[in-house]
Chain A
Amino acid sequence: MNAPPAGLPRLLTGIDPDGPLSLQSHVHVHGPLPHLPRARRRSSPLIEELERAGLLGRGGAGFPAANKLRAVIAARGRPIVLVNGVEAEPLSEKDRALLERLPHLVLDGAVLSAAAVGADEVIVAVRESLGYAAESVERAIGERDGITLTLAVVPDAYLAGQETALASYLSGGQLRPTFTPPRPAQQGVDRRPTLVNNVETLAHVALIARHGAGWFRALGTEQQPGSGLVTVAGAVRRPGVYEIAYGSPLRGLLDAAGGVSEPVQGVLVGGYAGAWLAAERIASTALDDASLAAAGAAMLAGVIFVLAERACAVRETAELAGWMASQSSRQCGPCVHGLDALAGEIAAVAEGYGARQPALRRIDRLASLTAGRGACGHPDGAVNALLSALRTFAPQFEQHARHGACAACARPGELVLPSWRLPEPLGGRARVS
């Protein structure tokens, strides 16, 4: 048995910048896959350990991992495990890093979870643009024996990683969210009880199974235990994927990323559904949901984007609002109409059309009409990011409402907004063995 890593890194232990860790190297670093007794009717030793560990899902929603496994066990039918490696949050690179460099850590977690819920099949879903990750997973699958592991490549779209959309697509349907219930745990891929877990969540499962809940809880906070991967992007000297203990200071993470590379205006926490913090808050911010809640923020997908002072926050917000509207799967009326209208209003404020107060009142009203009224959380996330930008950058919005476009508006945007379109409503099962 290898000694468990004390402190950090945990997941990123043994990472090789030159390529994926082979199965042999992976076992050398972490030890062999532990043998855990098989699933019983209502639980399994792994589920109990995950419960004690308090592991929360790392795809954004932060749902307790043990509960998901329990829901799959409780459902009728032949379970299947779906590894969500879609990572459609544009600035996030953590899942890609795991799939590209440490595929066996992820596959260990998937195989252990499959045994815990009694599944005989695992699908690893990777987004089209992450070609190298797909190659790495394919190679890793080839090195392993045991239960059936399949790679599935899904189209690029912001909602491609939404678990009901993913399950629908892999069942031959559309890559669009579905109405719940049923949740995938009840009826997912091919209507089978489907355990959908984020790549990073499964990597933690692989280590908790080896070292136990007590070890896991030695880092992090009581409510949000363990370590987590974050992607630092924007105005820092060394952007990239870092492993942190939850509850550690944002300042420390930015220092680890080489420090800010120029004067900073604010930080977007979580991802494009996340919340902005003004630069003055950096020094007092800790990286865990309970601490971030005061600022209306949460870790979500773990993206930390640093916006440079020289950029136009209003322009970035307007472009992000337009992009989030473009990524609606256009199924639910309030999401389609609400996000389009909000994007239009914000664009008008950015250009300085109309008085500020009526425009802001209309934005508030549209926001409350849009959030919470879709089949999935997309409208809620888009509204959350937009309202937090209005709060955080109030002086900049005021400036725009009065004087229109600023000098910085002409610069290219800092946020990455890929030109993704949902595929036509012709589902297809895009599995590669």
Chain B
Amino acid sequence: VSRRVRVNPIACEAHGMCAELLPERITLDEWGYPIVDGRRLDGELLEHARMAAKSCPVFAVLVEEE
């Protein structure tokens, strides 16, 4: 299975933790909301993505399988 990071934009409140924990896939726009790169996650990046998901105060970061 390949996994990708996704953000629930309704839940997101622009805390910005995800961009610090997963800068390879998430950057912030000028308002502080995440711009997500949906390429697949492997190895260490997958670990970082899971950490970002766990650390989001509003649980807006999702690691999705497809």
Contact A334 B10 (CB under 8 A): no
Contact B10 A369 (CB under 8 A): no
The yes or no answer to B51 lying at the interface (CB within 8 A) is no
In this complex, what residue of A is CB-closest to B30? A369
Which residues from B are CB-within-8-Å of A177? 10
Q: In B1-45, which residues have CB < 8 Å from any A CB?
A: 8-14, 29-33, 35
Contact B8 A333 (CB under 8 A): no
Contact A375 B9 (CB under 8 A): yes
Which residues from B are CB-within-8-Å of A333? 9, 12-14, 31-33
Contact B29 A369 (CB under 8 A): yes
Complex Cα distance, B8 from A373, in Å, reads 9
Q: In A169-188, which residues have CB < 8 Å from any B CB?
A: 177-179
Complex Cα distance, B10 from A337, in Å, reads 13
Nearest CB of A to B44, in Å: 26
Which residues from A are CB-within-8-Å of B8? 179, 375
Contact A332 B10 (CB under 8 A): yes
In this complex, what residue of A is CB-closest to B8? A179
11 A-B pairs (CB sep. < 8 Å): A177-B10, A179-B10, A179-B11, A331-B10, A334-B31, A337-B31, A369-B29, A373-B33, A374-B9, A375-B8, A375-B10
A335-B9, A369-B29, A373-B35 known; 5 new pairs, CB 8 Å cut-off, are A332-B10, A332-B12, A333-B13, A334-B33, A375-B9
Complex Cα distance, B8 from A331, in Å, reads 10
Complex Cα distance, B13 from A373, in Å, reads 14
Which residues from B are CB-within-8-Å of A337? 31, 33
Complex Cα distance, B9 from A332, in Å, reads 5
Complex Cα distance, B11 from A375, in Å, reads 10
Which residues from A are CB-within-8-Å of B10? 177-179, 331-332, 375
Which residues from A are CB-within-8-Å of B13? 333
Which residues from A are CB-within-8-Å of B31? 333-334, 337
Complex Cα distance, B10 from A179, in Å, reads 7
Contact B9 A369 (CB under 8 A): no
**Most chain B beta-carbon neighbours within 10 Å: one of A331, A373, A374, A375:** A373
Nearest CB of A to B20, in Å: 17
Complex Cα distance, B29 from A335, in Å, reads 12
Q: In A324-342, which residues have CB < 8 Å from any B CB?
A: 331-335, 337
Contact A369 B35 (CB under 8 A): yes
Per-position binary interface string of chain A over residues 358-387, scored 1 when its CB falls under 8 Å from any chain B CB and 0 otherwise: 000000000001000111000000000000
Q: In A286-344, which residues have CB < 8 Å from any B CB?
A: 331-335, 337
Known contacts A369-B29, A369-B30; is-contact A331 B35 (Cβ 8 Å):
no
In this complex, what residue of B is CB-closest to A366? B30
In this complex, what residue of B is CB-closest to A332? B9
Nearest CB of B to A265, in Å: 34
In this complex, what residue of A is CB-closest to B7? A373
Nearest CB of A to B24, in Å: 19
In this complex, what residue of B is CB-closest to A373? B9
Which residues from B are CB-within-8-Å of A374? 9
Which residues from B are CB-within-8-Å of A375? 8-10
In this complex, what residue of A is CB-closest to B33? A333
In this complex, what residue of A is CB-closest to B13? A333
Which residues from A are CB-within-8-Å of B9? 179, 331-335, 373-375
